[in-house]
Structure 1
Amino acid sequence: MTRLRRLVALGAIGALVAVGLTTQAHAADPNILANPGFESGLAGWTCTAGSGSTVSAPVHGGSAALRALPTDADTAQCSQTVAVTPGSAYTLSGYVQGNYVFIGATGTGGTDPSTWTSATAYQPLSTTFTTGPSTTSVTVWVHGWYSQGAYHADDLALVGPSGGGTTDTPPSAPGTPTASNVTSTSLTLNWTAATDDHGIQNYDVHRGATRIATVTGTTFNDTGLTAGTTYTYTVTARDTANQTGPSSGVLTVATSGTGGGGGGSGTVKLGYFADWGVYGRQYFPKNIETSGSASKINTINYAFGNVTNGQCAVGDAYADYQMTYTAANSVDGTADTWDQPVAGAINQLRQLKRLHPGLKVIWSFGGWTWSGGFPQAAANPTAFATSCYNLVEDPRWADVFDGIDIDWEYPNACGLSCDTSGAAAFKNLMSALRARFGTGLVTAAITGDGSAGGKIDAADYAGAAQYVDWYNVMTYDYFGAWNAQGPTAPHSPLTSYSGIPQAGFNSDAAIQKLKAKGVPANKMNLGIGFYGRGWTGVTQAAPGGTATGAAAGTYEQGIEDYKVLKTKCPATGTVAGTAYGHCGSDWWSYDTPSTIAGKMAYAKTQGLKGAFFWEFSGDTGNGELVTALSNGLG
């Protein structure tokens, strides 16, 4: 067959396998393949032309996988013949990686199934068939395609009733594992043995959904873990007939330590990443790495998920997980493929976490624009919490996110829209989230309004504090060109000052008021804006001058990134712990490395948990504001 004809045939096969069978194997049936994960080399398998071997990487689960190399004359098929029961439904599945990788079965006595995919990382494949009325064996196979490079396969399974005319009961579930010798990076698992009518061969140990080991005893030492991180474990038994039984109960255990400060008792150094920044701003997760900022913070809030119909929802599917990154703008320098299930910023954050194992990523929901959905969510907090958990812990990206952040602007008060849910609504919402997320991170961005009768007074932030790991107190945006004629005033004053337009509109007023209401200092982070707010038509250099409107900004009138302002309108003075600049007829206020250092000293003096900022793209290319924040907190 010429290569051209082979490619034509490949297209025909793709069309045929799109028509699948619908009969399913019974969920309780065992995997009847021998050596399905290639942990025993190629035992039980036959590969054409000596094309197959086992490797230790890449693997999907356990410690081994199949690698086979097609040639111009051979597809590198590896197969196994197995006894089956006539007239029965079977599901064939496995995980494969490579260009044009197929799995299928022959000799089924009916329509022989096959399916294929192309993938740069392990992807699942599955197909079904029903054996003919006299079929007692079938041959299952996996192969690549002519001259398409090596492929890998792992954790193959043929699920259905075993053949041979004998009855062999699968093993029982092992006991729920327990943990001992727990450190910041390792722990020891122990479980009681499963039982089987013919004997136990070994046990598969799973961390989350991934098989991490196959052992013959009832103990396993897991290493290389991340400090201050919660893990789940289950164990399944395999008998001497290669049948796997039901899973054990789930063990949930947290390693000791603080994971670099993202939770526990450590200092929080947190930055927001805005998903829409990948468009006009062309700011990608890679920039967090190349600026040097990734090694200086320990938590990223990913903004924003939507709140709609009483549920958490994806905010921008394209930016979040559909946009394919080029090698040039990806964190690890590898281009995405068109068919990978999760691309976008979420996958890039996954790559960033691989470079910085202690880094926490929290999915933030709401924000100024989408806070209008919270009143409906607050009407049924339990249902809302369940929807959020199901989204954040979706298997496609559960490894990326360490928890949830709620940015409700504002409970029982007005932001873009007004809420009348009552003072207890926020507390009830956070209680439901904590109950659903368990030991995962649960945080919230809250108002910095320290005025008498202001937004802090409108909701029970003290009562809700018991349910959160921390609050991000939004101590910025106090003043701006929404008051077009001024008076000019710094948008993020640390303290009050003579002539401040509104009493209580400063960071210290908010922190002291929250403390007085019972919010622990070590559950509050001080907020920093990586941008400035400004007016035009201003003649007075000092704060308090009149204006004619908002100063011009790159993306929005009256607001500009620090990286632009530092040269466009350098600081000409400071007031109340922040900076301002008067340049021509424009007047801008913003924080600089120097004022951030002062604010971090304040945070430490007040016993705060740490600090956070909005948002990464406002900083310089070498991350000078992040550096100031990180150095200031120590």
Structure 2
Amino acid sequence: MERTGPPARFTGLLAVCSAALLAAAGLVASAPAATAADADLARNGGFEEGLDGWACSGGSGAAVSTPVHSGSKALKATPAGSDNARCSQTVTVRPDSTYTLQAWVQGDYVYLGASGTGTTDVSAWTQSAGTYTKLSTSFTTGPETTSVSVYTHGWYGTAAYYADDLTLVGPGGAPATVPAAPTGLKAGTATSTSVPLSWNASAGATGYQVYRDGTKVETATGTSATVTGLTASTAYSFQVSAVNAAGESAKSAVVGATTATGGGQEGGGGADLPAHALVGYLHSSFANGSGYTRMADVPDSWDVINLAFGEPTSVTSGDIRFSLCPVAECPGVESEAEFKAAIKDKQAAGKKVLISIGGQNGQVQLNSTAARDTFVSSVSKIIDTYGLDGLDIDFEGHSLSLDTGDTDFRNPTSPVIVNLVSAVKTLKAKYGDDFVLTMAPETFFVQLGYQYYGSGPWGGQDPRAGAYLPVIHALRDDLTLLHVQDYNSGSIMGLDDQYHSMGGADFHIAMTDMLLTGFPVAGDQTKVFPALRPDQVAIGLPASTQAGNGHTSPAEVTKALNCLTKKTDCGTYQTHGTWSGLRGLMTWSINWDRFNDWEFSKNFDAYFGN
């Protein structure tokens, strides 16, 4: 979270990450010769039919008549802003088969690649091609791969590139057959409102349908799902079917589950939050252009109020301090007694007030057990002094990083991660089940782990990419809310293997779908980051154009909520499920929302009928 307006801190790094990366696998790879049975499977690879069969990010592509390599048309695609002008199509292929991908390209930093191969995704690129140059690469599909995405793209901030005569040569995809019904359906530990399900994969399936008492309630791409919105102390029956292009299988055997008593959620504290909550940061310790807002003046719209910020006395000390903004900096600031009284009033009204640790200037690195213990004692002192409900972790910059041995998010070795997890678990044990824990990482530290886990965009190492994943995973049973900052990000790749840019519904839909669906970390199908429950997820947004890059208009926020909770207004991105229990929204910040005449909170209240 930024003390001021739009930052420049991550601009270069994340823009580079958002382009498809210079970690590409070599310039031009030699490819095996095609056999007589092979065919060109790419549709309209010469672009003679315009963009038929192709999808270009951000409307970046067009068919042009010059320059061409052959025929009368070629692709011209122009990167703009943080978009890399990626043009792609999905092609049906056969499992365990070898394919050769080729194209003629012209321009600076032009890429050709294939993703979703089921083995190792490949790409080739040229740094500078003043005339048409052939790129070529090859790959072998995995044992269950039936489709791949082939693409071209340019480079962030460069001029337009051209592509022509793209071919994908290899065995044609076999006709799909309806998959068999899934087996091994099991119900996990039920809460009062949800039941987690898992099952065995069905060969050839591209997705699954989940049925509750005979009615379809969820869709999934993987072999697990959590059915939410259930009634406490109620018996339910569940079945699952498998689907692909040929149709839907028969339903699995029935499994039964009974929800727990009471109205709480599983773990995570904050069981008495409203079904749809609004989270906001309150600038309590500093001033900026948004102006100071007293705790007593925070409207009832806000269900969780995060005090910004508790900051360390030094990066590695673990010693966290919090105090109200000085009067000289914040005219009109309340006294500490008034501040504490206002907190109690908010809590009496059912609101949660947390201390947020970190922010733009608050780098915290718990490199030692001594720092860990100091963190616990100093944070406890803040919570006890002000009578707070819990902790928000807003670590940014270099606060979290991975060790070179951290190849598996389930077993981190980095001391700063291990000690943070230990510290939070100690706090949770001290304050009990009502302790509210929230996190506000940036997309770089979470969703970027889908492509790169500790890997830099140049083929080197950036130990921060995806570094929040082991923390979230280790604390998922204690986590009340995760609200990733969907801003100050650049473009990020979604589960559709397309890049999505800030500021519109599509970005928030794609980023949130990843959290609610789960995803393989760095493309490793053996290391899948499990989906979070929808009641644990809120969408993080800037409250105004002054609050951060990536401001999203109320109309686009409404579209994102409609898509995720109702499967309407989904635009170009199709989600892997429908989550009516999505918890809500987070914003930086309450102060900036007040500066903007409460536009953000008014839209939230209107949408959820508050």
- Scaled to the shorter chain, the TM-score interval is 0.3 to 0.5
Higher relative contact order (CA 8 A, sep 6+): 2
Q: Rg: which structure is higher?
A: 1
Q: Normalization by structure 2: what TM-score?
A: 0.40
